Amino acid sequence: KTGFLARKSHADMDGKKTPRGKRGWKTFYAVLKGTVLYLQKDEYKPEKALSEEDLKNAVSVHHALASKATDYEKKPNVLKLKTADWRVLLFQAQNQEEMQTWINKINCV
Ligand code: I3P
């Protein structure tokens, strides 16, 4: 599964609220491969190696839980991802169907 996703960090690895200045939205080209959600600055090119930045942004979705972010009302089509290491990330998909597909795929890995 691939597609554009905007990401916002809500809580960090220790479960603590992501500090001010690091809570903004940023759009990535997302690639779910195995148990890893890669968040790349540019569209995926098979021949191109992942940059340092791309590797830093990758999220493990092993033992993670994705659900519709029902408590977030500022934007539509937002899903919430709780990772095994207590991060909470919000992702805005391009439409309702995309959001549901991402949720299903993430919860099925
Ligand atoms: C954040 C940024 C986000 C905003 C967040 C701000 O500032 O403006 O867009 O979330 O509000 O803290 P910064 O870029 O300096 O981190 P929303 O778009 O959801 O309002 P928050 O602290 O209430 O999450």
Q: Render 24-61 in DSSP notation, one character per residue.
A: --EEEEEEEETTEEEEESS---TTSPPPHHHHHH-EE-
- What pLDDT shows up at residue 47? 73
Beta-bridge partner residues of 33: 36
User: Amino acid identity, residue 58?
Assistant: A
Cα of 21 to ligand 1 centre, how many Å? Answer: 8
Tokens of 37: 């959600």
Among protein residues, the one whose CA lies closest to atom 19 of ligand 1: 74
Q: pLDDT category, 42, cuts 50, 70, 90?
A: confident
**ipTM of this predicted complex?**
0.96
- What pLDDT shows up at residue 48? 76
Cα 18 from chain centre: 15
Cα of 90 to ligand 1 centre, how many Å? Answer: 12
In the predicted structure, residue 106 carries a pLDDT above the cut 90 = yes
Among protein residues, the one whose CA lies closest to atom 4 of ligand 1: 24
Among protein residues, the one whose CA lies closest to atom 20 of ligand 1: 74
- Rounded to two decimals, what is the model's pTM? 0.95
Please, are residues 7 and 90 in contact by the beta-carbon 8 Å criterion? yes
Q: Residue 10 CA: which ligand 1 atom is closest?
A: 24
